[in-house]
Structure 1
Amino acid sequence: MPRTLATVEHAVHLLELFDADHTEWNLSSLSRHVGKPTSTVHEQLTTLCESGLLTRAGRGRYRLGWRLLKLASALYGSLPWYAPAHAAMERLARRTHLLAFLCVLDGSRVLCVARSVQGRDGPPVAGELDFELPAHATASGKLLLALAGRPLPSPAVAFTDRTVTTAAGWSTESTRIRQSAHAVTANEWASGTGSLAVPVRGEDGVVLAALGISLPTPRLRESDTLLRALHDAADEVSWQLGYRTPTRAGSSEN
């Protein structure tokens, strides 16, 4: 690998280590975590600080820098669907009292680009803070893969005995998802956690994102009611974006 590319990849990896659970890192902890000499990591951290992507937060400690907000604003501004979808996600969370989220397909990865910050009521569920989700074990991942006509990821890790890990199983599952326009998981990523997801579409019908909720599996008894809420929220956004979806039985017209 060319040295410049390797340097960029190492810098990106360092940035990705900062999340809701690790808002600050010190040099020695980062060095141990990535398995590299402190001198190497210090050089990378210094470069990231000089670029504004990181900032020093006291002696030997680092936080994400303000420049990332500028980049995030530019990204969100380039996505006309993000603002209405985000608002619908928050309304859905308040309506269902569950953790709601938006996910996108980025190449072969499923990324959670937004989570609700209000309305949530109940015990924790798997993956609450994860940015990249297992595509074959989450409702959003399965929905996005199926609607894009993608195969099962290889290797397909078996998180539980309910995880879909075979091509035959995925063929059946993806066909059902395309026919129903929603995806469901129950104890497939972690025991006790389930999820539901539906698509948000643009004017030409292309799938832009998955709108979903995570919930304790006992609440899947309410799946019919929750799916109506999900479809209504996603359809409202899709309508604003110019997509005209056929009316489903039992759902409200936009």
Structure 2
Amino acid sequence: MPIWNIRYGTPVPPDTAPPLVGTDRVLAVLTELAGHADGASLEELTRAVASPKPTVHRALASLCRFGLAARNGHGRYVLGDEFLRLAFAHHEARPDHLRIAPVLTALTERYGETAHYAVLDGHTVVYRAKVDPAAGALRLSSTVGGRNPVHSTAVGKLLLAYALPDDDAAVTAWVGDRPLPQRTPHTLTSAEALAAELRTIRAHGYAVDDQENEPGIVCLAVPVFLTSPTRPSGAVSVSAPVSRTPLATLVAEVRAIRATVEAR
């Protein structure tokens, strides 16, 4: 896993990341553990966070004391039960999660596809809630708490359209000098293309992902106004395999999708 910028939640290239010290090292170890569902050895964690083995061991000892990490039966380190309890308790208590859950359930039952609720966080979106279709249907790999790039997702582009002024220069400044990763052959990779897309989104009031983030997956997103009548708190999307639900089918349902969100 890449070293993460704890403040902004974005990966930092190893050759440009500052040395980890103090609490940053503990948090880096905790973050790295989250990427190893089957656990990680001390040696693996030492390499991943680029720190001396004794200091990583001390960080793990601190996490274990508070129940945030533990050693499994194979001697590998995993996230602790207390960490999971805190994370799930906090997530379940979030007002937006509680208020949006019936919307996602209604959309999934109606269309038989996955529904998400996501919020904007810098250059990424974070999935706060997700409802999958009934057992047996194809499920997407997205996870609650997971991130995806703004520029390649329907939820991201929609929220960015509201967050930025209707000005190409604002989009150029937002992109800056960092490249927009090309997730698929359909991904928008220039500030000019993204600015044009945001204009279309503002005109129509919804956004689409036409296999831009993941091959074979399409998505339509609409805004959710939980705390303000003009600035969305997040976005709800319906995502589907294009072979089963073409994008045109989702677009034809945009009024019904928006009505489901607004009614609840």
Q: TM-score, normalised by structure 2?
A: 0.75
Q: 1:165 aligns with which of 177, 180, 189?
A: 189
Q: Deviations over 1:95-120 (max 9, x none)?
A: 22212211111234311122224436
Distance 1:71 1:189, change over 3 A: closer
2:258 equivalent in structure 1: 231
Counterpart AA for 2:228: D
1:128 equivalent in structure 2: 142
Q: How far, CA to CA, are the matches of 2:159 and 2:135 in structure 1?
A: 24
1:197 equivalent in structure 2: 221
Whether the 8 Å contact between 1:103 and 1:110 is mirrored in structure 2 is yes
Whether the 8 Å contact between 1:135 and 1:145 is mirrored in structure 2 is yes
Q: How far, CA to CA, are the matches of 2:44 and 2:64 in structure 1?
A: 17
Q: Deviations over 1:115-145 (max 9, x none)?
A: 22443654455x5247110110011111111
Superposition RMSD in Å = 2.9
Q: How far, CA to CA, are the matches of 2:36 and 2:257 in structure 1?
A: 29
Deviation at 1:211, TM superposition (A): 0.9
2:235 equivalent in structure 1: 210
Distance 1:95 1:29, change over 3 A: farther
Is 2:86 the partner of 1:86? no
Distance 1:95 1:9, change over 3 A: farther
Identity of aligned residues (%): 29
Tell me the secondary structure at the aligned position of residue 170 of structure 1. helix
Q: How far, CA to CA, are the matches of 2:18 and 2:39 in structure 1?
A: 30
Tell me the secondary structure at the aligned position of residue 84 of structure 1. helix
Deviates more, 1:26-35 or 1:156-165: 26-35
Alignment of 1:89-100 (within 5 A): 89-100=104-115
Q: How far, CA to CA, are the matches of 2:130 and 2:29 in structure 1?
A: 23
Deviation at 1:176, TM superposition (A): 1.3
Q: How far, CA to CA, are the matches of 2:196 and 2:182 in structure 1?
A: 17
Task: Note the residue ranges of structure 1 that are not aligned, 5 or more in a row.
Answer: 238-254
Distance 1:40 1:203, change over 3 A: closer
2:55 equivalent in structure 1: 40
Counterpart AA for 1:157: P
Q: Deviations over 1:58-113 (max 9, x none)?
A: 35223323433235534653x42220202321332232221221111123431112
Q: Deviations over 1:173-201 (max 9, x none)?
A: 11111222211011212322222111110
Q: 1:146 aligns with which of 161, 167, 181?
A: 161
Q: TM-score, normalised by structure 1?
A: 0.78
Deviation at 1:217, TM superposition (A): 2.4
Counterpart AA for 1:235: E
Distance 1:22 1:71, change over 3 A: closer
Tell me the secondary structure at the aligned position of residue 158 of structure 1. coil
1:241 equivalent in structure 2: none
Q: How far, CA to CA, are the matches of 1:175 and 1:121 in structure 2?
A: 38
Whether the 8 Å contact between 2:36 and 2:78 is mirrored in structure 1 is no
Deviates more, 1:167-176 or 1:109-118: 109-118
Distance 1:227 1:114, change over 3 A: same
2:198 equivalent in structure 1: 174
Q: How far, CA to CA, are the matches of 2:61 and 2:50 in structure 1?
A: 18
Q: 1:186 aligns with which of 187, 199, 210?
A: 210
Counterpart AA for 2:235: A
Distance 1:8 1:72, change over 3 A: farther
Q: Deviations over 1:40-63 (max 9, x none)?
A: 322211111112222332352233
Distance 1:114 1:163, change over 3 A: same
Q: Deviations over 1:4-47 (max 9, x none)?
A: x7433333333333458725333233334444443332221111
Q: How far, CA to CA, are the matches of 1:51 and 1:71 in structure 2?
A: 14
1:101 equivalent in structure 2: 116
